[in-house]
Amino acid sequence: MADSLEGFEERPQKSDKDGHRKRLRQRFRDHGPNGFADYELLELLLFAPLPRRDTKPIAKALLARFGSFSAVLAAPPARLKEVRGVGDAVVDALKVTQASALRFARGEVNSREPLSSWSKVIDYIRTAMAFSDVEEFRILFLDKRNGLIADEVQQTGTVDHTPVYPREVIRRALELSATAIILVHNHPSGDPTPSRADIQMTRQIVEIAKPLGVEVHDHIIVGREGQVSFRGLQLL
């Protein structure tokens, strides 16, 4: 779908729209994002790819379709283009913003320094996976100081299933000389409650890992509605 659509032609901005943009930008300069509604942040984001359009109705339409600011950024390009007024330029801006947020969150945990802040780990995991529309199985490989050796997506599946092979998980840990791992996967349904299959798979990995000197620190499931920790639920 092109950026210029029938019935949604490029028109010169009226003075009130220009004034609205200036006021919104000035509020952001003065106060940062505090007090901004999600649609207002999306408006700001859309100013660059849509320099001559009223971005407020497009921002509100995106939120109405996908439900939240994060879900808009994570939505597949084809679905984003189903929203009237959204074309390649808007999709590019949204995806660059998503990639920037992920790069920033990853930078908070992507070093050989010990993972001392659990909240940063959760923030990164949620940014990377919580709003994906397919299941992904990810592993954080740690050294003996709990420094991050590698962060790898092992498998990508369907909307409700990801094949996981416990022996392959441990084989990769041994290849990286990891002494501990954190298992992570997402539930596209939004509900992070572990299934029976999730619990069984985790126990299989723990049983294989323990005699080889690899500790499973946790298994975290993330979804739009939050996240759960197997250790917090006393499943580990």
Tell me if 22 is assigned to some domain.
Answer: yes
119 and 87 in a common domain: no
Tell me if 75 is assigned to some domain.
Answer: yes
199 and 135 in a common domain: yes
Tell me if 6 is assigned to some domain.
Answer: no
Reported as a pLDDT band with limits 50, 70 and 90, residue 6 is very low
Q: How confident is the model at residue 127, as a pLDDT?
A: 79
Tell me if 44 is assigned to some domain.
Answer: yes
Reported as a pLDDT band with limits 50, 70 and 90, residue 217 is very high
Q: How far apart are CA 43 and CA 135, in angstroms?
A: 30
Distance of CA 131 to the CA centre of its chain: 5
130 and 51 in a common domain: no
123 and 24 in a common domain: no
155 and 225 in a common domain: yes
Domains: count for the chain: 2
Distance linking the first and last C-alpha atoms of the chain = 49
119 and 181 in a common domain: yes
127 and 83 in a common domain: no
Residue 213 belongs to domain with CATH number? 3.40.140.10
Domain boundary among 103, 137, 155: 103
- Tens digits of residue pLDDT in 68-81: 888 888 888 998 99
Nearest to 92 by CA among 70, 73, 118, 120: 73
The percentage of residues in the chain with a pLDDT greater than 70, rounded to a whole number, is 85
Tell me if 21 is assigned to some domain.
Answer: yes
Reported as a pLDDT band with limits 50, 70 and 90, residue 175 is very high
Residue 16 has pLDDT above 80, yes or no: no
**Residue 49's domain spans which residues?**
15-103
93 exposure class (CB count in 10 Å sphere: 0-12, 13-18, 19+):
middle
Domain boundary among 103, 122, 139: 103
Reported as a pLDDT band with limits 50, 70 and 90, residue 3 is very low
Residues written for the chain: 236
Q: How confident is the model at residue 111, as a pLDDT?
A: 55
94 and 39 in a common domain: yes
Q: Contact 190/171 with Cβ under 8 angstroms?
A: no
171 and 190 in a common domain: yes
220 and 125 in a common domain: yes
